[in-house]
């Protein structure tokens, strides 16, 4: 079954899906993106993802490539044409194609690409049962990581470093030793008293959609959340540690920089958040 991508108004075979060599996303990383989970035939939290896309576009003064009403139709169509029941749908908007010049080009139409791909939910569940490892790296990204920009080179390098260290995620840590977030996820700890702690999203991290929905999941489970920074040392001594993102939901962390978290096994609170997630998340039929 050939994969299908949406590229600037057309549904094309994935193998024949191309953007122009002077697309500003390619030349300047002048673009933004979203990743939505597809689970059991539903697109998860799509309205929140579109809200964040709107914010990213507004911050960068990029126009919507299609109307806000049409984008969900395209996303659903890409999911449908690729027969994705579980997986993800990716969308990317760049400022468009123009002769290379740093300043915004006049009259350029933004470019839109939407792809979808399958994932194996059983494999993800297995991963959650054993947990994953993180390493820490010094924060070296720009100040506007609240914008979901395609400029992800520091994230690429950090996650590659994690892989080479036998870990699956890298946490960006500031000069004071306070954890910011992962290369592609938000960071959480659970204290000895069972309180969830995650950094405020006003500045210095991406406001994860999964993070926002997990606030509602926690409320449903009667769990308390403190929005504050935490250090690597506090995380190493925590009862549980986990990350959140559209592709991982709540994923237990069992080691930080090679040191086991608690008994080195996934924590029960993290797993209960993970398993209650879909009852709370908004589900749009794909």
Q: CA-CA distance, 246 to 195, in Å (whole number)?
A: 22
Q: Which of 84, 179, 196, 206 binds ligand PDD (CB under 6 A)?
A: 206
Establish if 181 lies at the interface with ligand PDD (CB under 6 A): yes
Q: Reduce the DSSP state of residue 231 to 3 states and report it.
A: strand
Where are the alpha helices (H) located in 35-168, listed in sequence order?
46-59, 70-81, 121-130, 153-164
Using CB under 6 A, which of the segments 156-164, 181-189, 232-240, 277-285 binds ligand PDD? 181-189
Distances (CA, A) of 224 to 178, 193, 220, 221: 21, 10, 10, 9
Establish if 240 lies at the interface with ligand PDD (CB under 6 A): no
Q: CA-CA distance, 193 to 168, in Å (whole number)?
A: 27
Q: Which of 208, 252, 266, 267 binds ligand PDD (CB under 6 A)?
A: 208
Q: Which of 32, 137, 209, 218 binds ligand PDD (CB under 6 A)?
A: 209
Using CB under 6 A, which of the segments 19-27, 65-73, 160-168, 207-215 binds ligand PDD? 207-215
* 148 catalytic residue (yes or no): yes
Q: Which residues pair with 188 in a beta bridge?
A: 198, 242
List the beta strands (DSSP E) in the chain. 4-7, 10-13, 31-39, 42-44, 87-94, 111-118, 132-138, 169-173, 179-182, 186-190, 196-198, 225-227, 240-245, 249-256, 259-260, 283-285
Establish if 184 lies at the interface with ligand PDD (CB under 6 A): yes
Q: Are 154 and 29 in contact (CB under 8 A)?
A: no
Q: Reduce the DSSP state of residue 9 to 3 states and report it.
A: coil
**Nearest distance, CB of residue 107 and ligand PDD, angstroms:** 30
Establish if 35 lies at the interface with ligand PDD (CB under 6 A): yes
Establish if 92 lies at the interface with ligand PDD (CB under 6 A): no
Using CB under 6 A, which of the segments 14-22, 162-170, 244-252, 270-278 binds ligand PDD? 244-252
> Could you say which of 118, 127, 133, 148 is catalytic?
148
Near ligand PDD in 245-274, by CB under 6 A? 245-247
In this structure, the chain runs to a length of: 286
Q: Tokens for 230?
A: 């935490």
Establish if 168 lies at the interface with ligand PDD (CB under 6 A): no
Nearer Cβ to ligand PDD (136/210) = 210
- Give the active site residues: 148
Which residues of this chain interact with ligand PDD, rule CB under 6 A? 35, 181, 184-186, 206, 208-211, 244-247
């Amino acid at each position: 079954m050939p994969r299908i991508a949406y590229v600037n108004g057309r549904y094309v075979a994935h193998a024949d899906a191309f953007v122009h060599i002077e697309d500003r996303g390619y030349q300047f990383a002048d673009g933004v993106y979203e990743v939505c989970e597809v689970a059991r035939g539903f697109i998860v939290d799509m309205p929140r993802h579109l809200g964040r896309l709107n914010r990213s576009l507004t911050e960068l003064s990029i126009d919507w490539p299609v109307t806000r009403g049409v984008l969900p139709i395209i996303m659903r169509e890409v999911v449908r044409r690729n027969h994705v029941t579980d997986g993800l749908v990716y969308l990317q908007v760049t400022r468009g194609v123009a002769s290379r010049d740093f300043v915004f080009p006049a009259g350029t139409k933004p470019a839109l690409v939407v792809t979808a791909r399958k994932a194996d939910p059983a494999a993800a569940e297995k991963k959650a049962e054993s947990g994953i490892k993180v390493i820490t790296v010094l924060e070296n990204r720009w100040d506007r990581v609240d914008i979901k920009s395609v400029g992800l080179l520091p994230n690429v390098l950090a996650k590659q470093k994690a892989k080479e260290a036998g870990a699956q995620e890298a946490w960006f840590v500031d000069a004071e030793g306070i954890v910011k977030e992962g290369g592609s996820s938000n960071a959480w700890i659970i204290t000895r008293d069972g309180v969830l702690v995650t950094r405020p999203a006003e500045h210095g991290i991406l406001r994860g959609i999964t993070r926002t929905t997990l606030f509602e999941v926690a409320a449903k489970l009667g769990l308390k959340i403190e929005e504050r920074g935490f250090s690597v040392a506090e995380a190493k001594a925590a009862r549980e540690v986990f990350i959140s993102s559209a592709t991982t939901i709540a994923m237990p962390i069992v080691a930080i920089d090679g040191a086991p978290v608690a008994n080195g096994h996934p924590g029960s609170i993290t797993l209960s958040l993970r398993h209650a997630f879909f009852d709370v998340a908004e589900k749009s039929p794909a």
